[in-house]
Every structure is written in C-alpha cells, then in structure tokens.
Structure 1
Amino acid sequence: MSSPQNFNPKAYWSATLKLLITTLVIWFIVSFGAGILFRDALDSFHIGGYPLGFWFAQQGSIFIFVGLIFWYAKRMDKIDREHDVHED
C-alpha cells in the first residue's frame, strides 16, 4: 500500500462511510422491508408458485446478500483506487 503525498483521509473515509451506509440501507430494505414490512403487498405476486414476500424472506434475501457482498467489494476497490490506497 502506497502513501501518496496528495492522500486526503477525510475524503477517503467519507466515500467509505457513504458506501457502508448505502450497503446497510439495501440490507435493511431487503431483509426487514421485503421479508417483513412489505410482505403483504409482495404476496400478491408469485415466483415459482410461492408468494413473493415468502420468497424474499426465505431465498431472495440470501441471493441479494451474496450479490451485495460482491458489489461492495467492487465499489470498495474502486474507492481505494480513486484515493490511491489500493493493493497491487
């Protein structure tokens, strides 16, 4: 990891916190929102014969969480490269 002369720690941590908050909001909406709060509205739609609210609570949230992990890693790598603190 290099330590460039023009590194701005406040800008780096601001971008990192923004990404973290975005990730947590998506996680909350998918887990608590789709699986519990919006379940009744989602149950009017079906996937493979199962109500969508049930699907999100049982399967969909897992798929979205795995995708969220890869998305977070890719975005974090981009932030690291933008601030020149990435690992080669």
Structure 2
Amino acid sequence: MSNKEKHWDKTKGLMFITLAMWFFFGYVVFMFGGSLNSASFLGYPLAYYMCAQGSLIAFVVILFWFANKQEAIDEEFGFAEREDN
C-alpha cells in the first residue's frame, strides 16, 4: 500500500470518528431531552442547557480536536503544510 493510500485510510477513520461524535452531540442528546429535564443546571432544565450551550461547546472542542489529529496524521505521512524555519 502506498504512502498516499495509508494517509487516506487514517484520514477516513478520523472522519468517521468525528462524524459519530457530531451525530451524538447533534441528535442523540436531543432525543433524550425529555428524560434530561428532571435534572437542572444553573436553574435551567438540563435538556435546555445541553441544547443551548452544551452541544455548541462540544462542536468547538470536536473542531479543534479534529484539526490537531489531522495535523498529526499529515506530519506522520509527510503531507504537513507547516514549514519549520
């Protein structure tokens, strides 16, 4: 298998993991919103807080995590865009 194919395999695996996390925080958390309302956080029902704030925070964390992991994969296979001076 060539270096380019190995790079794509790792990138594809990272993409599927990222999409699974996005699906979880974008849909699964909201599916159980009714049962989450029995608890509260900062005076608001937990489902409301997770919809309004929690999922947005999770998306930003996933974004930075993905960028760092992809950069590591690129460096591993010699496709890094960063140049050391």
Normalising by structure 2, what TM-score?
A: 0.85
Q: Residue 39 of structure 1: CA displacement?
A: 1.1
Alignment match, 2:50: 56
Alignment-derived partner of residue 19 in structure 1: 14
Q: Could you tell me which runs of 5 or more consecutive residues in structure 2 were left unpaired when the two chains were aligned.
A: none
Identity %: 33
Q: Distance in 1 between matches of 2:39 and 2:9?
A: 39
For these two proteins, the number of residue pairs brought into alignment is 81
Q: How far apart, in 2, do the equivalents of 1:60 and 1:68 lie? A: 12
Distance 2:11 2:18 in 1: 11
TM normalised by structure 1 equals 0.83
The structure showing larger relative contact order (alpha-carbon pairs under 8 Å, at least 6 residues apart) is 1
